[in-house]
Amino acid sequence: MEDLTSLTVHELKEKLDKKEITSEEITKAYVNRINEKEKDVQAFVTLLTDEAITKAKEIDEKRKTQNLGEYAGIPIGIKDNMCTKNIKTTCSSKMLENFISPYDGTVVNKVINEENMIDLGKLNMDEFAMGSSTETSYFKKTKNPWDLTRVPGGSSGGSAAAVSANMVPWALGSDTGGSIRQPSALCRSSWA
């Protein structure tokens, strides 16, 4: 069988639309990839793999009778500075290590909830998005998947590293002064 984690979001969507694959199959492929790569890359602060598989099954059922969002059933990772209801939002800081948001942030509501996308987990970052290497996280230092001795950049290093390692097909990050652009450049495959 084809490696689903090597497909683009648009290819995954096309296969879903043609009923060649299910959201559950896609999600399980990414969960397997996370299980294989996360110990080395360290991109996630909070994993939601069991919840993601459950949500994928629900979306597959809904798809039979309802029109869902354009990217419904596609997994995604979320930078850990975006509030997610009933899930830890730590900003990679000890101070917030047990903070569970009582609400979803606007971007989470619009991208995840309204589109019926599948959250695979919260991604590591420089603490409070103050850094450019993803080494200042309280929890762990994220590695560049192309060379584990190098940094992925920051502050959205977990997001870029997770995408680059095919642990998520895409991810949300945030950017004030290069926090998405720098990790995207440092984790791109042509550097390998």
All domains of the chain, ordered by start, with CATH? 4-191 (3.90.1300.10)
Q: Which of 23, 93, 179, 184 is catalytic?
A: 179
What is the structure's pLDDT at 188?
Answer: 83
Block residue for tokens 């060379």 = 147
The DSSP code for 106 is H
**79 carries an active-site annotation:** yes
Q: Please pick, among 37, 55, 79, 122, the residue that the annotation labels catalytic.
A: 79
For the chain, the average pLDDT equals 95
How much is the pLDDT for 192? 43
Residue 184, helix vs strand vs coil = helix
**Is 189 marked active-site?**
no
Query: Among the options 133, 155, 156, 164, which is catalytic?
Result: 155
Mean pLDDT along residues 107-122: 95
Strands in 51-153 per DSSP E: 75-79, 118-123
Q: What is the pLDDT of residues 131-167, one digit of tens each?
A: 999 999 999 999 999 999 999 999 999 999 999 999 9
Q: What is the pLDDT of residue 1?
A: 61
pTM of the model: 0.95
